[in-house]
Structure 1
Amino acid sequence: MTLSEINSWQTIKAEVMRRIVERVWLPGDQIPNEVDLAEEFGCARATVNRALREVAEAGLVERRRKAGTRVALNPTRKATLEIPITRLEVEQRGWRWRHVILEREETLPPAVVTTRLGLSDKIPMLHVRTLHYADNSPFLYEDRWVNISAIEAIRSVNFQSIDANEWLVQNAPFTRGDITFSAANATELEAELLEAKKGAAIFVIDRTTWNGDIPVTLVRLAYAPGYRVHTEL
């Protein structure tokens, strides 16, 4: 796509969104079809299609085949989440980061892991457990399983020089994932590692990433008491 074409669809997207926000087109209204909009804007229909796809992904319009495009009655508001690099997260808070590898081995995963990933329990996975520190205080306990068949190169990585989290963010492509945020009571192991009382309230993230239909990694992140997460809409 040429620069002029990119500018064209972005300009059309901005104008469509303006008309929606300023109520030129009201919630539930059917907007002009692609042919009419292409004629109005003096561009190719494909350019209009690209712009409307972007607006639909933003949740402001609903597109249905043969039924046209309507302004959404209840616009979707989406938050953008990124997989953070723990080292950077600690350093950006003004602390010194370090990590300790508690365990690294290729082993058969438990049923709870294979069930969630849809993998055979007869195929070894890489199990890595890491404790991250902020200055001299425990910050995060990371319990991770990696599908080696999806990313063979991880076998040769020296996790003393780079932790599994940062290496995977930089080297393991993924197309989708699921994330669960929860409050939990620290298990005996988590309490010991995080220097907290057993049963103390902690923040937990369970995350799975996939590349197409192939699972890449499953990780449980248990943060020390007092951790707060911030995101933007």
Structure 2
Amino acid sequence: MAAMTWQAVQAEALRRIRAREWPPGARIPDEEDLARELGCARATVNRALRDLAEAGLLERRRKAGTHVALTPVRKATFEIPIIRQDIESRGQTPGYRLLSRSLAPAPAPVSALLRLPADAPLLHVRALHLADEAPFCLEDRWINPAAAPGVETADLTTISANEWLVRNTAFSGGDIDFGAVAADAGTAALLGCAKGAALFEIGRTTWAGAQPITAVRLTYGPGYRMRTAI
């Protein structure tokens, strides 16, 4: 069996933190013990934990060991919703349509946003989410396959990339922006609105430590009201 990568070690550490196997304030096992348990080199564990410490999830002190932060996030956090569940929470019936998927280098702005080489192959997915059979949200997403093992073979005709990533990848942080955009002709046709209509758009990137997972633009139909938790 191949040794675990630092990304896999980080994902396991994140799982234990979120499952409260390592509760806030608890001292986690020493690097040597974790390396022995997970079947990898101590340097691999060190790399994974260093990123989590930089993200504020762990506190590392010399001679005192590594502890789960009591207040791991010192700022408001945005919950990444599963769009299907968001629609269901509004009392509507969700629907989903995969518009396209391809593996190709991303446009320069996307590669720069994810800090990846211009020729790095990314999975590009475009999908339309429906609520009571009416257009609800247009998902335009680029995924780094190296950070999401299995996504290249996932059946994204039955589950959206949004839901697949939430269920199958662990992230440590990201960036998000909100804004209003005017619908171009293509977007207006997909969302069933007039060209030039004001639409609510969310741009988001997520990361596992220093490794980018995805960059997505979610464009919602007219009248959308965002609901989230902080």
- What TM-score bracket applies, with the shorter chain setting the length? 0.5 to 0.7
One-letter amino acid matched to 2:70? E
Distance 1:84 1:232 in 2: 10
One-letter amino acid matched to 1:134? A
Q: List per-residue Cα deviations over 1:166-191 (Å, max 9, x = no partner).
A: 01001011111000011111122111
Which blocks of at least 5 consecutive residues in structure 2 are unaligned?
A: 1-22, 26-63
**What's the RMSD between the two structures over aligned residues?**
2.4
Asked whether 1:54 is paired with 2:51, we answer no
Question: What are the residue-to-residue correspondences of 1:1-233 with 2, within 5 Å?
Answer: 54=70, 78-233=75-230
Structure number with larger C-alpha Rg: 1
TM-score, with length taken from structure 2: 0.68
Would you say the 8 A contact 1:187–1:198 is kept in 2? Answer: yes
Seq. identity, %: 45
Would you say the 8 A contact 2:205–2:214 is kept in 1? Answer: yes
> Which structure is richer in relative contact order (CA contacts within 8 A, separation 6 or more)?
2
Q: Secondary structure at the match of 1:158?
A: coil
One-letter amino acid matched to 1:198? K
Q: List per-residue Cα deviations over 1:38-68 (Å, max 9, x = no partner).
A: xxxxxxxx8xxx89x636x676xxxxxxxxx
Q: List per-residue Cα deviations over 1:106-159 (Å, max 9, x = no partner).
A: 112111111111111212110000000001210000000000122231011001
One-letter amino acid matched to 1:84? P
Distance 2:87 2:227 in 1: 14
Which blocks of at least 5 consecutive residues in structure 1 are unaligned?
A: 1-5, 10-45, 60-77
Number of aligned residue pairs: give it. 170
Give the 4+ runs in structure 1 shifted more than 3 A.
Answer: none
TM-score, with length taken from structure 1: 0.67
